[in-house]
Chains A and B, each alone.
Chain A
Amino acid sequence: MLEYDKADQGDVTVFALKGNLDALTAPALKKEIEALLSARRINVVFDLRGLELIDSSGVGAIVSLFKRVRTLQGDVKIARLTGQPYEIFKLLRLDRAFEIYDGVDTAVRRFSV
């Protein structure tokens, strides 16, 4: 089960994920991502405060988006990474690829710096 809230803050789209981002739910998020890219929204913050579980399929969805927006001079930043998703990000060394912030507002502001 995955719920997400999507909110635009200027040029930045904030995805707040709640529940599980896994093999079952990643396809739905990928559809959202396609819609985002079609609308040329290439600056994204994932607010992961409510994310209870991420698996390798969920990681694949976020990494795929990251690679695609990077080629378009956009970026994906991560906010409020805790719990099991934090352990996965650390293991896969995703903290070296993604900028990770304690707060959503800070992550959004970093796009304008």
Chain B
Amino acid sequence: MPTSQPTSGPGPGREPPQGPKGEAFLFVLPARLEYRDAARAFLSHLCLRMEAQHHIISAFVEAFNNSVLHAYEGGPPGAISVDVFLGDEILRVVVTDEGRPFEPRDVPPPDLDALPEGGLGLFIIESFMDRVRYDRIDGRNVLSMEKHIAKAEEVALSEHTGAK
């Protein structure tokens, strides 16, 4: 069974989180493609502008795929944690696994004119997100992706009032 654990807010007995205002959520999922949609469905319901939502989901899917198909390839099954931080102007998704190290610099940029059939995942992530950072921390691959966002209700309001 998946151990999906969406959490929100500080919770009882804990100090309120420090740092920028927003809400944090955490999913811990078995590193199998079947469980990816639990977190994707959550990201689909964040009420963002559609284009931004499509971009975020595209990037998340590629990141999760990379963890399952490359980091854990041929090794023991592991877990993938998906940390989501939703701030007023930013959405951050951090995908962490304990698989083999990933070296983004080893991935050449795709030649789109040649219609490549693979090697597109990192390109999709870096193209659709505003800030992408990879770290290897304590035996974990930590891929942090951020996108500037406007929440859908704010977009609707500004369009209605003419406010910028």
Q: Are B54 and A59 in contact (CB under 8 A)?
A: no
Where the two chains meet, the residues of B that have a C-beta atom closer than 8 Å to any C-beta of A are 33-34, 37, 40, 50-51, 54-55, 57-58, 61-62, 65, 68-69, 112-113, 115-121, 124, 127-128
Bound-state Cα–Cα, A88 to B57, Å: 11
Chain B interface mostly = helix
Bound-state Cα–Cα, A53 to B68, Å: 18
Q: Are B62 and A83 in contact (CB under 8 A)?
A: no
| Given contact pairs A53-B57, A63-B115, A91 touches B65 in the complex (Cβ within 8 A) | no
Expressed in whole angstroms, the minimum distance between the Cβ of B76 and any Cβ of chain A is 20
Q: Which residue of B lies closest to A52 (CB)?
A: B44
Question: Which bucket holds chain A's interface residue count?
Answer: 20 to 34
Where the two chains meet, the residues of A that have a C-beta atom closer than 8 Å to any C-beta of B are 20, 22-24, 53, 55-57, 59-60, 63-64, 66-67, 83-84, 86-88, 91-94, 97
The one of B34, B50, B61 in contact with A55, judged by C-beta atoms closer than 8 angstroms, is: B61
Q: Are B112 and A56 in contact (CB under 8 A)?
A: no
Interface centre among B55, B115, B119, B124 (most CB of A within 10 A): B115
Bound-state Cα–Cα, A20 to B115, Å: 21
Bound-state Cα–Cα, A89 to B31, Å: 27
| Given contact pairs A55-B65, A56-B65, A88-B124, A93 touches B118 in the complex (Cβ within 8 A) | no
